[in-house]
Amino acid sequence: MNVTQDLSILHLILNASAVVQAVMALLAGVSFMSWYYIFMKWYAVTQARAKTETFERDFWSGGDLTNLYNSAVNDRHHAGSMERIFESGFREFAKLKGQKNLDPKDVIDGSRRAMRATYQREMDALEAHLAFLASVGSVSPYIGLFGTVWGIMHSFRGLSNVGQATLSAVAPGIAEALVATAIGLFAAIPAVLAYNRFSHDIDRLAVRYESFMEEFSNILQRQMR
């Protein structure tokens, strides 16, 4: 027997039992999807951070808020999350400020509620698919372990048909079973690392958005005096 050839990864996958092959195919598909979401989320978070920094620089440069609002409205499809939060808050502020017999506190509260609603939508968009990465990171090793256990059981059942149990008889079955665990870890580890990293980055963006809402509310409150 040519051990090197028989125990190659491709040979083990092609000659694995149907259940183990199904587990490997599932894990490979999940890994592909997780990598797709990882790159997509990396681009989204990077863009959100860059647009936030650009808008903060424009906002705190001391320009006119009305001009900044018009710019956000005209370029709405390319605006960042913080810019959309500002747009919704300023729009509600301008609408309520024009109403008579309305308490200034109600104007500020209305503007804050509008910003909070937009903030929640933006956070939902940023956090999209994070749950999938978390699920892949937590479940994939167990799916791979299931394939490993099944493969080892299948290998030992095959020994009942062999007159003498040898390492060469059981090694291929155990090796193909362990491949399932390896694929499960290959799918899980990047997903866990990406989930932790993106969660950290999104939490930092959320803090910046919330701080901006409070500071912008104070600015609007001073304008009501």
Evaluate if residue 27 carries a pLDDT over 50: yes
CB atoms within 10 A of CB 96: 18
pTM of the model: 0.81
Evaluate if residue 8 carries a pLDDT over 90: no
Evaluate if residue 176 carries a pLDDT over 80: no
Instruction: For residues 83-90, give the mean pLDDT.
Output: 93
pLDDT at 209 (0 to 100): 95
pLDDT at 5 (0 to 100): 44
Which comes out higher in pLDDT, residue 72 or 158? 72
Confidence class for position 3, pLDDT limits 50, 70, 90: very low
Confidence class for position 37, pLDDT limits 50, 70, 90: very high
pLDDT at 17 (0 to 100): 73
| Interatomic CA distance for residues 67 and 187, integer angstroms | 48
Question: Chain-wide mean pLDDT for the chain?
Answer: 85
Cβ partners under 8 Å of residue 133, min gap 6: 34, 37, 38, 41, 191, 192, 194, 195, 198
pLDDT at 72 (0 to 100): 83
201: closest CA among 8, 49, 30, 3?
49
| Interatomic CA distance for residues 64 and 67, integer angstroms | 5
Evaluate if residue 133 carries a pLDDT over 90: yes
Evaluate if residue 208 carries a pLDDT over 90: yes
